[in-house]
Structure 1
Amino acid sequence: MGRLMARRIGLTLDRVLDEAIALADAEGLGAVTLARLAERLGVRSPSLYAHVAGLDGLQRALALHAAGALKSALQDALEGTSGLDGLRSLARAYRAFAHAHPGLYEATQRAVTPGEDPELSAAFLEVVEVVGRPLRKRGLTGDDVVHAVRALRSALHGFIVLERAHGFGLSASIDESFERMVDLLIAGLHG
Structure 2
Amino acid sequence: MKRKVDINDIINCAIDILDNQGLDYVTLKEISSRLSIQSPSLYNHVKGLDDILVKVANKSFENLYDSLVNSVIGLDKKKAFYELSNQYRKFYMLHKGQYALIHRVKLWNKDKTVSDESDNFLNLLKQILKQFNLSERDTTHFIRAWRSYMHGFLLLETNGSFALNEDVDTSFNYGLNILKYRLENKSVE
Q: TM-score, normalised by structure 1?
A: 0.91
Residue 146 of structure 1: aligned partner: 140
Query: Structure 1's 115 and 43: CA in aligned 2 closer, same or farther, altered over 3 A?
Result: closer
1:178 aligns with 2:146: no
Residue 43 of structure 1: aligned partner: 37
Residue 124 of structure 2: aligned partner: 130
Deviation (angstroms), 1:59: 0.7
SS in structure 2 at match of 1:139:
coil
Structure-to-structure mapping, 1:11-26, within 5 angstroms:
11-26=5-20
Deviations 1:120-179 (A, max 9, x none): 211111110011111111111312211111111111111111111112111211111111
Give distance in 2, aligned partners of 1:112 and 1:119.
14
User: Which one of 149, 152, 162 corresponds to residue 158 of structure 1?
Assistant: 152
For the 8 Å contact 2:57–2:108, the answer to whether it is kept is: no
Give distance in 2, aligned partners of 1:56 and 1:114.
9
Residue 107 of structure 1: aligned partner: 101
SS in structure 2 at match of 1:167:
coil
Letter in 2 for 1:143: R
Q: TM-score, normalised by structure 2?
A: 0.91
Deviation (angstroms), 1:18: 1.0
Give distance in 1, aligned partners of 2:66 and 2:164.
34
Deviation (angstroms), 1:118: 2.2
Query: Structure 1's 115 and 13: CA in aligned 2 closer, same or farther, altered over 3 A?
Result: closer
> Which runs of at least 4 in structure 1 moved beyond 3 Å after TM superposition?
112-115
Q: Which runs of 5+ in 2 are unaligned?
A: none
Q: Which runs of 5+ in 1 are unaligned?
A: none
Query: Structure 1's 144 and 112: CA in aligned 2 closer, same or farther, altered over 3 A?
Result: farther
| Percent identity for Structure 1 against Structure 2 | 30
SS in structure 2 at match of 1:72:
helix
User: Which one of 45, 48, 54 corresponds to residue 48 of structure 2?
Assistant: 54
The size of the alignment, in residue pairs, is 185
